[in-house]
Amino acid sequence: MTARPNILILMVDQLAGTLFPDGPADFLHAPHLKALAARSARFRNNYTASPLCAPARASFMSGQLPSRTGVYDNAAEFVSSIPTFAHHLRAAGYYTCLSGKMHFVGPDQLHGFEERLTTDIYPADFGWTPDYRKPGERIDWWYHNLGSVTGAGVAEITNQMEYDDEVAFLAGQKLYDLSRQSEDTGRRPWCLTVSFTHPHDPYVARRQYWDLYEGCPQLEPEVGFIPHDEQDPHSQRLYLASDYASFDITPEQVRRSRRGYFANISYIDDKVGELLDVLERTRMLDDTVILFCSDHGDMLGERGLWFKMSFFEGSCRVPLMIAGKGVGPARIDAPVSNLDICPTLCDLAGIDISGIMPWTDGQSLKPLMQGSERGEPVLMEYAAEGSYAPLVAIREGKYKFVHCEIDPPQLFDLESDPLELTNLAADPQHAGLVAAFMEKVRARWDMAAFDAAVRESQARRWVVYPALRNGAYFPWDFQPLQKASERYMRNHMDLNVLEEQKRFPRGE
């Protein structure tokens, strides 16, 4: 075996870190994730770089904040010149492969991956571009609304189930393929990223998982509905963005939505279990680092908010677990970020990325896993639908501070107020702390320049997108190609050699 470990990244979509206080919460039916947690470094206070799919994923891949990548929203191009962990690993000799979602926008649909097994579930073009020039305007055909809540329930197949069934099947097939080379002395180490779209809404689940949560007490939110006029300004904007006025959400619909979400965590748990089982049966488990993560969370009706797009814990805190040789099982409470994943993977693989670190916002978690302290705060940004100007946040020590040029500041003590019910920034006794955080904001961000960059990006795309859809249209969406003539048995192959090569373990 090579000295460098194989890497299996298991990524899910919209899984709230509040449900992972130390691995999956006790009430969740997630035996495979709980078993993984028992042998993992578990990061209790891990945060997304931006609570929306494409910005979060570009930051996860690169270790860079959206203000650096330019991926501000779900239709902003992720440019090819930004290095990702797939580039770093591939340059060091790794085979890099993606099965599933990564929401890359633009003509580059690989970003360092040598191979993709599936297409993406979401479009790769500029069609979902917000428009800061029209604050308050809903773009009805693609903006989230509360139909996911009113439509929660049971189905045996959906668009998203079809996708994740394919993602898991092809990932398992790839693991079997990699196992056939695992005993070859000259083989390349591999990094396989498996990225599911569940438990992202709509909150629709298969009956076998739905039934697991009959009578579950956690179907009730901890923080009840907060009327529009009592919400902070950004949450008021999210009510408008979600088209709250067109829906009359009932308590039963809230319960059904949360039940569907929990059920889909159990569905994902089965998929994870299948892949880890293949890894073990093909004797690759001991040589593989496993990383489990999510792009952002889901408010799940807490405070009346749904989905993401917010810096409240349900939306921006996400699970992170790392297991494998040399990683001791432990709960780590220090605030960390998905920005740290790229440097961490490289560190675990013994790859020097110092050449790009001056332009990287994350840092390796390996010292933290070995008992060191972390001194840097966690940074977050948001500049997409539901916002009228960029929002930024700092998570440091027990505090979270949120700033937007058009809103009053927010300051929460997450130790004494984990549900974020008391905004300390409104208390004169905390004026000094607010001023100290504002100094850090001004030192880190030029908010006027950030706002101008977002507006420029949006304006450009509002010109380019309709132009490219006029006349002959060439999609950027990834089109998986399969050479059927090179699979199974064909007449240019030696049957005896083929049968031996495709068997693992051999000769038993």
Structural contact between residues 411 and 401, judged by C-beta atoms closer than 8 angstroms: yes
Q: Cβ–Cβ contacts within 10 Å for residue 339, how many?
A: 25
What tokens appear for 497 in the block?
A: 């050699």
Among residues 53, 191, 346, 404, which one is catalytic?
A: 53
| Dihedral (Cα; 312, 315, 317, 323), 10-degree rounding | 170
Annotated active-site residue 103? The verdict is yes
What strand order describes the sheet that includes 95-100?
A: 115-116, 95-100, 190-199, 6-13, 288-294, 320-323, 40-43, 330-332
Cα–Cα distance, 139 to 128 (Å, whole number): 9
Q: Any idea what the Cα angle at residue 202 is, between residues 261 and 99, rounded to 5°?
A: 85
Handedness of CA 437, 441, 447, 451 (dihedral sign): negative
Q: Which element (helix H / strand E) includes 336?
A: strand 336-337
Structural contact between residues 158 and 152, judged by C-beta atoms closer than 8 angstroms: no
Among residues 87, 88, 103, 198, which one is catalytic?
A: 103
Q: Smallest Cα–Cα separation from 410: which of 312, 309, 323?
A: 312
Residues 6+ apart with CB under 8 A from 158: 202, 204
Query: Largest alpha-carbon pair distance within the chain?
Result: 81
* Burial (0-12, 13-18, 19+ Cβ within 10 Å), 455: middle
DSSP state of 317: B
Cα–Cα distance, 229 to 233 (Å, whole number): 9
Annotated active-site residue 53? The verdict is yes
Active site residues: 53, 103
